[in-house]
Amino acid sequence: MTDLPELRPTDDLPAAERDALIASMRPEDAERVPELHEVDVPEELRAEIEQAMSRYPQLRSASIPAMWAVQRHYGWCTPEGIRQAAAVMGLTPAYLEAIATFYDLFRTTPAGRHQVLVCHNISCWLRGADDLTRALCDAAGVDAHEADHDGATSADGEIFIKGFECLGACDIAPMASIDQRYYGPLDADDAAAAIEQLRSGAEVLPEKALAKRPVAGGPEPEPDPRVAEVEGDRGAPGSGAEEAARS
């Protein structure tokens, strides 16, 4: 691959320079689809992407799964990883880069080894998400404001914290997604413990994992009113129907 000039955000350029740059771009200069022999795709990554492609009626549908595979393999969507996926899929790297930058969960810059996403949307905010973010950031030693907006990685490269939009777990607010698993409700002590556990490689907050919650919604009054008790077969309608939603 040829050496590319150093890239600078076009917002930083003076208008004249920017205009000259745009004028210099020609469609035929756009990077074409890389050939497989031009990139060095790890066997495992290639197999994973090809398997994803085989599951859809149209190959392009595998572009999101392919980016997941790249991110899993390299820790983030690296430019080289994107080129490799593009070669396997027969797409231009630009196409896949557009995918990687559109979706919030794909990272196009290096980030910490462990990923902590803190929900800062309405329901979590109402129950103290801002305090939770601060506690996590204090424990990890990153700037809370930066983490809440763009995400921030701790100095040792271990922990990446980012404020995130609704993660769909308002029943355990305030909550966070830690390495793709949900935990909540979390207080400041939990936050400190979680960061400590991530650093030491211990199991994270076993008692706060969503997967282990028997019933969402906190302590249950008896009898369980959440279940609309309705049952019936074609032959016997009416059994217990009126009891639906008793409270």
Partner 1 sequence: MLFRHIDEPNLRSIDVYRRLGGYRSLSQAFKEIEPEDLVAELEDSGLRGRGGAGFSMGKKGSFLPHGDMEKYLCCNADESEPGAFKDRELMMKNPHQLIEGCAIAALAVDATYAFIFIRGEYWEVADVLDEAVVEAYNAGFLGSNILGTGSRVELVVHRGAGAYICGEETALLDALEGKRGNPRLKPPFPAIQGLYGGPTLINNVETLSNVPHIIRNGADWYKRFGTEESTGTKVVSVSGCVERPGNYEIELGIPTREIIYGLAGGPLEGRRVKAWFPGGSSAPVLTETELDLPYTFEAMAEAGSMLGSGSIIVADETVSIPELALRTARFYHHESCGKCTPCREGTNWTVKMLERVVNGLGTPMDLDIIASVQNNIMGNCLCVLGDSMAMPVGSMVRKFRGEFESAVEGVRVAA
Residues at the contact surface with partner 1, assessed by CB under 8 A: 55-58, 60-65, 67-68, 98-99, 102-106, 117, 120-123, 125-127, 164-173, 177, 180-182, 210-211, 214-219, 221, 224-234, 237-238, 241, 244-245, 247
Q: Work out how close the CB of 150 gets to partner 1 at its nearest, in angstroms, rounded to a whole number.
A: 12
Q: Work out how close the CB of 51 gets to partner 1 at its nearest, in angstroms, rounded to a whole number.
A: 12
Q: Which is nearer to partner 1, 46 or 192 (CB)?
A: 46
Q: Work out how close the CB of 24 gets to partner 1 at its nearest, in angstroms, rounded to a whole number.
A: 26
How many whole angstroms separate alpha carbon 39 and alpha carbon 47? 15
Q: Which is nearer to partner 1, 28 or 94 (CB)?
A: 94
Q: Work out how close the CB of 220 gets to partner 1 at its nearest, in angstroms, rounded to a whole number.
A: 8
Q: Which is nearer to partner 1, 65 or 192 (CB)?
A: 65
Q: Which is nearer to partner 1, 25 or 211 (CB)?
A: 211
Q: Work out how close the CB of 143 gets to partner 1 at its nearest, in angstroms, rounded to a whole number.
A: 19
Q: Which is nearer to partner 1, 50 or 229 (CB)?
A: 229
What's the distance, CA 112 to chain centroid?
13
